[in-house]
Amino acid sequence: MDIPLELKILNNEMMKFIFKHEKEGKKCTCNLDLDMVVKIYGDEEQQQIEIEQELETIEPGQIYVSGQCIGSGYFSQVFIGTHNNIQVACKRYPMKGDTFYNETANLKLLAPHQSFPTLHGILKLGIFYYIIMELVNGITLENYLNTNPNPVELFSVLRKIVKALVYMHSIGVTHANISTSNILVYRFGNKCRIKFVDFAFSRNNDPHEEIKCKGKIEYIAPELRDKSQTRADLNEKTDVYSFSVVLKKILASNILRDNFLRIDWFSIYSNCSDASQSKRPTFEEILKCLS
């Protein structure tokens, strides 16, 4: 059986990603299994057509995509581009598969909220497909925590993160890849704001759909590890567990614990990281604890 061109491209992209990171001394593994192939070439075609019809298709002559890569993941890279005289982020995929449609559909749903990037449209350029979105001029939460932020600002950033997650789940979106690398912190006047990025593995639909959890293992809820899951297994409480790891990293410097003594930080963290999904709080409950 001939291998489709799209899969050949995907395989080449994965190999380049692995080679680059192993040269830097990082061990990487990528598995392309039959389930993924079925997902890409399966019965989601009609849903994907409907998603595309709701999005603006940007013509190649309307945009410039530079060769400046500002981020890369398992199956995509992000480049800086120019569209309508503004800089934009151009997320490149080697094929229009499951992750491409997850990201576009959920960014469209989340677009009205300031804590998520604005979606401008989609682009076919050469053999690649791009999601064109707002370019966030900020740094990852991981890097922000290394700047020794003042307590009031850091507490404000934490509350903004939780408020964004409350909104996300109020409209039925599960991020599924929350980490300090996927939250950007940026300046707006004299205040800090946040934006969640990387919705490639997010879900908002079919509860029977089989999924594969990606991302750093420490952020993945224990009930999702080492087994097949469906959308029904992926929900607010699995995102809460991922948030607990983010919270742990925020609290590591003691900045908040030393300055907001009225808050029971240990209880919030231990409840969010509980091995039992049913015992974890909702994001609404977490926000009340931070009031």
Which residues participate in the annotated binding site for ATP? 96
Closest among 190, 203, 181, 189 to 249, alpha carbons compared: 181
Nearest partner of 225 among 268, 275, 272, judged by Cα: 275
The residue whose two tokens read 């934006």 is 195
Annotated binding site: 96
The dihedral over CA atoms of 149, 151, 153, 159, expressed in degrees to the nearest 10, equals 120
Please identify which residue in the block is written with the tokens 């926000």. 287
Identify the CA nearest to 129 among candidates 93, 156, 76: 93
DSSP single-letter state for residue 62: G
**If we measure between CA atoms, which residue out of 272, 264, 275, 278 comes closest to residue 239?**
272
